[in-house]
Structure 1
Amino acid sequence: MPAPPVYSLRQLGAYFLRLGTTGFGGPVALVGYMHRDLVEQRHWISEDEYREGLALAQLAPGPLAAQLAIYLGFVHYRYKGAALAGLAFVLPSFIMVVLLGMGYKLFGGMPWIRWVFYGVGATVIGVIAVSAYKLTTKTVGRLQWGEMRKRWLLWLVWLGGILATVITGAEPLWWLLGAGLLYMVVKAPPRWIRRKSRMAGIWLIATGFFTFDGGTLQRMGWFFLKAGAFVFGSGLAIVPFLHGGVVSGYHWLTEAQFLDAVAVAMITPGPVVITVGFIGYLVAGFPGAVVAALATFLPCYLFTVIPAPHFKQWAGNTSVRAFVDGITAAVMGALAGAVVLMGLRTVVDWPTGLLALGSCLVLWYGKKVKEPHVILLGAIVGWLLKFFIHT
């Protein structure tokens, strides 16, 4: 059983509301913020509880950061805490993308977003690179030869996670499960393996605010439900799936509109997958935004809270703990691999390279500098660079 909470349900909701409002940087940065704030600084959540939540969030389909928020809300306040944490985390960015969708429909597109994203994207690479490094040292181990030699298998799993993610362009579930099983068998094989016994089977009118079609809403609901239920990995992993349905399949948006939707998600705080709200708004107004967001995040909630009680019971078992350690190392490698992939796509010239490197250095040496400040500065610098150099 977890220790009694040292915080109230209201404090929990207030924290995730603030994180959803100011938490820039995508899934890697967001899970890093939760560790820093809730484990290191406030001591609301233990290291073990956080790691269990991170492993479960990665195993279940849906957006990583939102699932981790739901799990951390579940730790002390069960289903009520999970629902509150998830809603508070997603709501601010949902409101933002709806407002941006209204402006998009009113003014017919926002090319300035890509100008801003030119700088924001590069700056965010630096933010998430620093977060991924700090998170890796907390969960896998410090970059010291003696410690790395003792935990060589975890580091090997971590490296495998990087390679698998970079090569496949996704965070492969088969590698995460395989890494967990490998580490469990080597470090703490369960009795059914040692005894070779049989395993028991457990596992607004101008902005199109109310412009929608009932049939389209139904199709959207089913499509986004599948997106939330069958796409594994971070929020970025959902983008190819959305593109296949929204642009190529149903032809709800043009290629340019879809790229704008992804850019909106990247420059707003909170989970990247909230782009579904913006897409839903463009397709069917506010009802479309609500349907798209609810359909995407409902599986995320269910796939987190349903196995959570059993997951915590199993967590005391040494074999399960070894399985979780293996998965966690693979997750950290996959997140580091995601940083590499995003960096390759975002750092396209020398200005973006300087912005990415500069944001890393500022966050590394500027102990009092906050991530939103760095990203805001990156947006301004990026816009100026784009305006004066590339136009």
Structure 2
Amino acid sequence: MSDEILAKTKVEEKVYSLWQLVLYFLKLGSVGFGGPVALAGYMFRDLVEKRKWISESDYKDGLALAQLAPGPLAAQLGFYLGYVHYGIIGSTLAGLAFVLPSFLMVVVLGWAYTLYGGLTWMQAVFYAVGSSVIGIIAFSAYKLTRKTNGKDLWLWGIFVFVAAYTVWTESEEVYMFLGAGIVYWIIKSPPKWLDKARSASSGFALGPIRQVAEAAAVSNEPGTLWTIALFFAKAGAFVFGSGLAIVPFLFTGVVKEHHWLTDQQFLDAVAVAMITPGPVVITTGFIGYLISGFSGASVAALATFLPAFLLTIIPAPFFKKYGKRPGIATFVTGVTAAATGAISGAVIVLGKRSIIDIPTLLFALVTLLLLWKVKKVSEPIIVIGMAILGLIVYPLVHT
């Protein structure tokens, strides 16, 4: 018992400096592959088990908050762990250190893509990688769906409805996510005040969201930094679940509404996120670069991560007291079911653009098979392997 108290005291006394924490997240952002679940696992292994900088209870609180709040899970967990002992400064510096390496990588790749995108070798790379990414998204959707829905028929109903809507309209609506969360919340954990406030709650809950959505649609002029900032802030504020949950949302806005990118350019942007370390959501930096150069990349990335940062540090002091209430948990479960439905629908929508012949179909199927059967293989390795295959196969089918 005395050992537990001593260990807890050491953690509370901050046995590490802010500089050490920043260096750790800088390294993790530079070499941390594997997606949000893997990155969260690295943080637990390194900061809780090995270094004992963070207590297990603080880590679990941070992970729960990251799962409840919208935004990229791994980045939000990093924000929270930086906040534990060093407050807002620690959260800010840890977050910047975590995101900066992958941001710089996607900017360099965006520059190369813009400069050499018309070259045959780059077309060959993305010919294979684009269809491989469809396989990765499909497998992620499968895992998320099994984990989220289980045997709950209500969640499966939400999933099927949103997936069908996404395929039919080739778009998604923020209101659908919020509606799914509210419906599931009312069904599973109806609040006592529901009868009294039912008429008022609907307008109150959606009013501010509607204002944000309308503000983001004020200008459709491509390349406008203000428009970019509003759109990506909305994306960052409504992404639940895996980082890939942002893919259908971005596809709707970037390709369908604003026409900033073509279908193929968008798939290439997702592929770039797969081959770089750090959060998958960093694809927004690449997209921003294609829209408006380095300024567009900076604004898009900042706008995406800022809501996640604020939604981490603002509720952090109150989360331990209120975060485990049933109503909050059921709302997030409903939203996550809708998100998995949107991802599954996006697999079909994007697949129609990317899988164009037998070789691309095989690339997607081989990716699925590898992820299903070979547990230790990582997405970046698969993507790099497919890029090499693309260099070989593309000239043979485009002669």
Alpha-carbon distance in 1 for matches of 2:148, 2:89: 28
Which segment drifts farther, 156-165 or 173-182?
156-165
- Displacement of 1:165 in angstroms is 2.3
Asked if 1:138 is matched to 2:137, the reply is no
| Superimposed CA distance per residue, residues 224-260 of structure 1 (whole angstroms, 9 cap, x where no aligned partner) | 2122234455145335544689877xxxxxx78x965
Q: Any residues of structure 2 matched to 1:169-208 within 5 Å, and which? A: 169-193=170-194, 196-198=195-197
Find the residue that maps to 1:122 and give its secondary structure.
Answer: helix
The equivalent of 2:123 in structure 1 is: 114
Q: Tell me: CA distance 1:114–1:7, structure 2 relative to 1, closer, same or farther (3 Å).
A: farther
2:121 and 2:351 map into 1 onto residues whose CA distance is: 21
3-state SS, counterpart of residue 96 of structure 2: helix
CA contact (8 A) 2:172 2:252 kept: no
Bigger drift between 228-237 and 154-163 goes to 228-237
- Describe the shift of the 1:129–1:7 C-alpha distance in structure 2 as closer, same or farther (beyond 3 A): farther
Q: 1:229 aligns with which of 233, 251, 257?
A: 233
Distance in 1 of aligned mates of 2:189 and 2:115: 60
CA drift of 1:120 comes to 0.7
Q: TM-score, normalised by structure 1?
A: 0.70
Residues of 2 paired with 1:162 and 1:239: CA distance?
A: 15
TM-aligned CA distance change 1:103 to 1:124, over 3 Å: closer
TM-superposition CA deviations, 1:192-235 (whole Å, max 9, x none): 02xx33479786xxxxxxxxxxxxxxx74323212223445514
Residue 293 of structure 1: CA displacement? 4.0
Partner of 2:77: 72
What residue is the counterpart of 2:165 in the other structure? Answer: 164
Letter in 2 for 1:356: A
- Give the aligned CA root-mean-square deviation in angstroms: 4.0
Greater Cα offset, 156-165 or 297-306? 297-306
- Percent same amino acid at aligned positions? 35
- Give the aligned partner of residue 215 of structure 2: none
Distance 1:227 1:184, change over 3 A: closer
Deviation at 1:185, TM superposition (A): 1.4
Distance 1:85 1:339 in 2: 33
C-alpha displacement at 1:376, in angstroms?
A: 0.8
On the 8 A contact 2:264/2:353 being kept in 1, the answer is: no
* C-alpha separation in 2, matches of 1:153 and 1:323: 13
Question: Which amino acid is 1:95 matched to?
Answer: L
Q: Is the 8 A contact 1:229 1:296 kept in 2?
A: yes
Which of 340, 343, 358 does residue 335 from structure 1 map onto?
A: 343
Shift in Å at residue 335 of structure 1?
2.1
Provide the residue aligned with 1:315 in structure 2: 323
Q: Is the 8 A contact 1:128 1:339 kept in 2?
A: yes
One-letter code of the match for 2:182?
Answer: L
Amino acid at match of 1:273: T
The number of equivalent residue pairs is 341
Give the whole-Å Cα distance in 1 for the aligned partners of 2:155 and 2:44: 22
Q: In structure 2, what residue type is equivalent to 1:364?
A: W
Give how far 1:72 is off.
1.7
Q: TM-score, normalised by structure 2?
A: 0.69
**1:13 Cα deviation (Å)?**
6.7
Q: How far, CA to CA, are the matches of 2:284 and 2:312 in structure 1? A: 17
Alpha-carbon displacement from aligned partner over 1:252-308 (angstroms, at most 9, x marks no partner): xxx78x96586355334243212244236xx55x55644554455445544554466
Decide whether aligned partners of structure 1 residues 372 and 316 sit closer, same or farther in structure 2, where only a CA change above 3 A counts.
same
Is 1:132–1:336's contact at 8 Å kept on the other side of the alignment?
A: yes
Q: How is 1:21-170 mapped onto 2 (pairs within 5 angstroms)? A: 23=33, 30-31=35-36, 33-34=38-39, 50=63, 53-57=66-70, 64-65=71-72, 68-78=73-83, 79-80=88-89, 82-84=91-93, 86-103=95-112, 109-141=118-150, 148=151, 151-170=152-171
The equivalent of 1:381 in structure 2 is 389
The alignment partner of 2:196 has SS state of coil
Q: 1:23 to 1:227 in 2, by over 3 A?
A: farther
**What SS is found at the alignment partner of 1:164?**
helix
Structure 1, unaligned runs of 5 or more: 25-29, 58-63, 142-147, 204-218, 249-254
